[in-house]
Amino acid sequence: MKKYNYEYFASCPSGLEEILSKELADLGASTIVIVRGGVQFEGAHEVALKAILHSRIASRVFKYLFQFDVSNEQDYYLAATDIKWKSLMDVTHTFRLTTIFGDLPFEREEFRNSQFANLKLKDAICDYFRHHETVRPSVEKDFPDISFLARIDRGQAKPYVATIMYDLCGDSLNQRGYRVAKIEAPVKENVAAGILKLIKWDPETEDFIDGMCGSGTFVIEAALMAAGIAPSFLRVDRHLHGSGQKQWTFLNYPWLTKDEELKASFKKLLEDISESTIKGVEKLGKMKGRISGNDISEVSLISARENLKKAKLDHVIQLSQADARVLNPNKNKTLFICNPPYGERLEHGEDERLKALYQGLGDHWKHNFKGHRAALFTGNLPMLKVVGLKTSKKHILYNGDIECRVAEYNLY
Ligand SMILES: C[S@@+](CC[C@H](N)C(=O)[O-])C[C@H]1O[C@@H](n2cnc3c(N)ncnc32)[C@H](O)[C@@H]1O
C-alpha cells in the first residue's frame, strides 16, 4: 500500500474545475491541483466538511484511503483482501461500491470491464468480513451507509494502480433538495451556480432575470448566492429537524464518529448555516424585484413555483409569464440570462422555430438592453451563430453528458 499524494478529491461538471478550485481555496484548501472533472486538495478534515456544506460547484467530495499497484483483476482482489476494512466500516453497515476507469492504455488484456473490477472488489470486502467476522455486509445501491469509489489507472511498478476512496456525500451535492418538480432538460443545480460564477454575476451591482426559467434552477441558485445561503441549507434543516434519515454518508464514517474535534466543528458549521439562512431570507425580502424568473409556459412556471416553495423562497422571488423577447431590463443594471430549448425533440419545423427564437432574442437585446448584460446557455451550438450579436466571452461546459456553451454579451 502506498501513501496517496492528496487527501481529498472534489468532483464537478467538466468546465467548472477552475471555479471549483477558487471556491475550495476560499474555504481553506491547500495544495490544490486541477484535473479533468475535479480538484485534488489537502487541508484539515474541517475543510472537507466545509466543501461538502458550502461548495456550490462540487458534485461530490471524496477522501483518499488507499492506493496499490496491481497486475490484473485477481491481483486486485488479493491486494484488496489485505485492507483492514473493519477500520472503515462495520459489518452491520450496508455499502455501495463504484469502480471507474481513469487513464488506461486503449489496448489491454486486463481491466477491460469496470463492472467486473467492481465485482472483484466487492468480493474482496465480503470475503474479508466473512473471514474476520463470519458474516458479510450487504450491498445497497440507493441509500447505503457507506459509499466507496475505486479508480483504476495506468501504473508504474505494475501495469495498473488502484485507488480506493470514501465518497463522503452519498447523494450527489447538486441535489440540494428543492427540485421536487422537473421539466424537460433542466440545468443541474451546480452547473447553474457555476455559470453565475463563470460570468461573474455580482448581486450587489446587477439585477438578475432568467427569461426562460423553466423549473427555476437559475433563479434559486442566484437567490442563494445573493443571500449567502449555503447550498446545503435544506439538507442541514432536514438533518436538524427531519425524520432522522442521514443526509450525508460521512455521518457513518469513523472519519467523523471517532473525531470529537471534527464533530464539534460540524455542529458549529450546522448552527452557522441555520443562522445565515434566516438572515439570508430576510436579505432577499429587502431585494424584492431584483431577482426574477419568467417563462412562456404555464407548465414550466408551475414547476418553478413548486421548487421555489420547497426552497422556502416563493415569497421573495417573483415569476412572470411572457415571451422572453418582450421583456425589458430593470432600472438597475441587469443581467438577463436565457437557457432556451436545445431542440431535443427534432420535430418537423423545430429547427426553424428555434432559429426564430435565438435570432429574436439577439434582436431584442440589441435594441432594448443597451447598457446591460445578457448570457445564453445552450447545448445547441449552431444556434449561437443565429443570435447575431458579438460575444464578449464564451465558456465550454457540460450539463450531464451534453456539451454546452455559455455565451456572454455586453450590450452597448
Ligand atoms: C431548457 S428549458 C430551461 C430549463 C431551466 N434552465 C431549468 O433548469 O429548469 C427552456 C425553457 O424555455 C421556455 N421557453 C421557450 N420559448 C420561450 C420564449 N419564447 N419565452 C420564454 N420562455 C420560453 C420553455 O418553456 C422552457 O421552460
Residues with CB under 6 A from ligand 1: 183, 185-187, 211-212, 214-215, 217-218, 295-297, 300, 323-325, 339-341, 357
**340: CA distance to ligand 1 center in Å?**
5
- My answer on whether 153 and 207 are in the same domain is no
- Residue 277 inside a domain? The answer is no
CA of 301 to the centre of ligand 1 (A): 10
Average pLDDT value for residue range 262-269: 97
Beta strands at 207-210 and 160-167: parallel, antiparallel or unpaired = unpaired
Query: Probe ligand 1: pick from 210, 300, 308, max atoms within 8 Å of CB?
Result: 300
Stated pTM of the model: 0.95
- Distance (Å, whole) CA 206 – CA 374: 11
For residue 182, give the amino acid letter.
Answer: K
Q: The domain spanning residue 224 has which CATH number? A: 3.40.50.150
Helix (H, G, I), strand (E, B) or coil at 345: coil
Over residues 298-319, the pLDDT tens digits come to: 999 999 999 999 999 999 999 9
**3-state class of 78 per DSSP?**
helix
d(CA 364, CA 387): 10
In a domain, residue 1? The reply is: no
* 411 C-alpha to ligand 1 centroid (Å): 22
Residue 296's pLDDT band (boundaries 50, 70, 90)?
Answer: very high
CA of residue 281 to ligand 1 center, whole Å: 26
Q: Looking at the structure, do residues 336 and 209 belong to the same domain, yes or no?
A: yes
Long-range contacts, 340-347 (Cβ 8 Å, 24+)? 340/212, 340/376, 340/378, 340/380, 340/383, 341/184, 341/185, 341/212, 342/185, 342/378, 342/379, 342/380, 342/402, 343/380, 343/383, 344/184, 344/185
Ligand 1 center from residue 358 Cα (angstroms): 12
Task: Report the pLDDT value the prediction gives residue 4, as an integer from 0 to 100.
Answer: 55
β-sheet with 146-154: strand ranges across = 30-35, 38-42, 8-11, 60-70, 160-167, 146-154, 95-101
Distances in Å between the alpha carbon of 61 and those of 12, 45, 139, 143, 327? 9, 12, 21, 17, 40
- pLDDT value for 346: 52
**Cα-based distances in Å from 332 to 95, 209, 237, 294:** 52, 12, 34, 18
Which pLDDT tens digit goes with each residue over 98-123?
A: 999 998 999 999 999 999 999 999 99
Would 263 be classed as within a structural domain? Answer: no
Q: What is the mean pLDDT of residues 330-345?
A: 90
Which atom of ligand 1 is nearest the CA belonging to 342?
1
Contacts of 103 (CB under 8 A, 6+ apart): 153, 154
CA of 213 to the centre of ligand 1 (A): 6
Looking at the structure, tell me whether residues 134 and 193 fall in a common domain.
no
Atom of ligand 1 at shortest range from CA of 297: 25
Domain housing 221 = 189-228+288-410
Looking up residue 80, the CATH number of its domain turns out to be: 3.30.2130.30
Nearest to 164 by CA among 100, 112, 119: 100
Q: 137 and 19 in one domain?
A: yes
